[in-house]
Structure 1
Amino acid sequence: MKKRSLAGNVAVGVFVIVLIFTTVAFCSPSWLVSDSRITGAKLERLGLWTHCFRSLGDPIDEHQRRFFVGCRWVYDPFTHGYDEIRGYLLPPFMIATQFFYTISFLFVLIAFIQVLLFFLCCGPDQGKYALLISLIGYCLIVAGISGGIAVIIFASLANGKGWMPDHQNTFLDWSFGMAVVGSFAAVIDAILFLTEAKIQKKKNANIKDSQAQFSMEESKA
């Protein structure tokens, strides 16, 4: 019996896109950036875990005696005063974005292990083959939905008034775009894997019917 159908082969190819886009979006610092033409912008760019500032005045110091410059991990324990503005850097909507996109990333990693088994190790002759494919599909559904929630929250609130300075000169950048594509592709890929699982279940059922019919004919003979 053929190991994979067309849906299965396409699903593996689409998964490569999901894995690359989700991983890069998760790690890269360009979800929100300032317009490069604005020379006096305080924000340079930010991602889920990294913030890059050109000259951000301490938002809790009304006298503006301290400024933050350069790129730092948002949980940086070494820069003096950075922990004091963490509440400003991570408002509730940003924490929600991190939470949902981390779930998306983790389920993509789980699916990656399963896809390796599906592509390299397992075959239709194994009893749990269709179940494995279904599990990949379910993991990707969770990844796609969680990623979708994360990008919707971020797009709705990250570029609004009241958070980062010069919000009128900032825009969503390529990391955010990769997160959107990765989440959408994960849902499409889930459909492909679930379709492949259905095809494999049907093939197994047809083989069992053929074997049963052959056994009945042999017994009659």
Structure 2
Amino acid sequence: MKKRSLSGNFGIGIFVLGFVCVCVAFGTPAWISSDWRITSAQLDQFGLWRHCFRSLPNPIESDAPTRFFVGCRWVYDPFTRGYNQIRGYLLPPFMVATQVFFTFCFISCLVAFGLILLFGLCCDPDQKRYVQLISIIGFLLLFGGASGVLAIIIFGCLGNTDGWMPGHDTNYLGWSFVLGAIGSVVVLIASLLFLVEANIQRKKRDYLKASQTRFQLESRT
């Protein structure tokens, strides 16, 4: 039996592209970016896990702020004074949901990456669990891609609305968000290709078994 069909080869290549996009989006802070031409902007960049402010007044002290947040920090920074007080402002419920769903996407892709290495380098169609391995990869990527798309939809609808980050009129969804969207869709496409590959390999195996059975019957007669 041929080791992989065309859908399996394309699935591997497309997955690599989606995996790179998801990893970059997961670790970079440009999900929301401020227009660089606006020198008075309070926000610079904001990502899933890291944010950069130029001069953000303490949102708790709305009347006469005495503290301003400047620079780039981890969103769960336990060391900078005052960040624990504004964590609810930095992470509203929709942002937490985005983090959770895109983390599901990232972890699914990470596990699938190891399984795809096993599929591409170590496994042969003659092995007993070959079809099950491809099916697991396909469903794992389907779950990861769907989680990523859900995270993108949530953040795209609520991430740049009035009432959260300052200067929403001059902010825009950044390149990290775009890579996350591309990666999630590409991972979904890769999942479909792997599911097609599993179906092809299953049919090949069934055909081979039927051919062997027919040959044995004919040889006996």
| Common fold by TM > 0.5 | yes
Separation of aligned partners in 2, 1:187 and 1:111: 12
1:79-136 alpha-carbon deviations (Å, 9 max, x no partner):
0001110000000110010011011111111111110110011110001111110111
In structure 1, list runs of 5 or more residues that go unmatched.
Answer: none
Question: In the alignment, residue 50 of structure 2 is paired with which amino acid?
Answer: T
Once the two structures are superposed, the pairs formed by residues 1-221 of structure 1 within 5 Å of their partners are: 1-61=1-61, 62-220=63-221
- Secondary structure at 2:56 match in 1: strand
TM-score, with length taken from structure 1: 0.98
Q: Which runs of 4+ in 1 moved over 4 A?
A: none
- Give the Cα–Cα distance (whole angstroms) in 1 for the partners of residues 179 and 150 of structure 2: 14
**Alpha-carbon offset, residue 4 of structure 1:** 0.3
Taking structure 2 as the reference length, the TM-score comes to 0.98
Identical aligned residues as a percent:
55
Separation of aligned partners in 1, 2:64 and 2:79: 23
2: CA distance, partners of 1:202 / 1:151:
36
Q: CA deviation at 1:163?
A: 0.2
The RMSD of aligned alpha carbons is: 0.7
SS in 2 for 1:22: helix
Q: Please, which runs of 5 or more residues in structure 2 have no aligned partner?
A: none
The C-alpha deviation readout for 1:186-212, integer Å capped at 9, x for no partner, is: 111111000000110011011101110
In structure 2, how many angstroms separate the alpha carbons of the residues matched to 1:115 and 1:37? 44
Structure 2: distance between partners of 1:101 and 1:195: 25
**What is the total number of aligned residue pairs between the two structures?**
220
* Partner SS state of residue 83, structure 1: coil
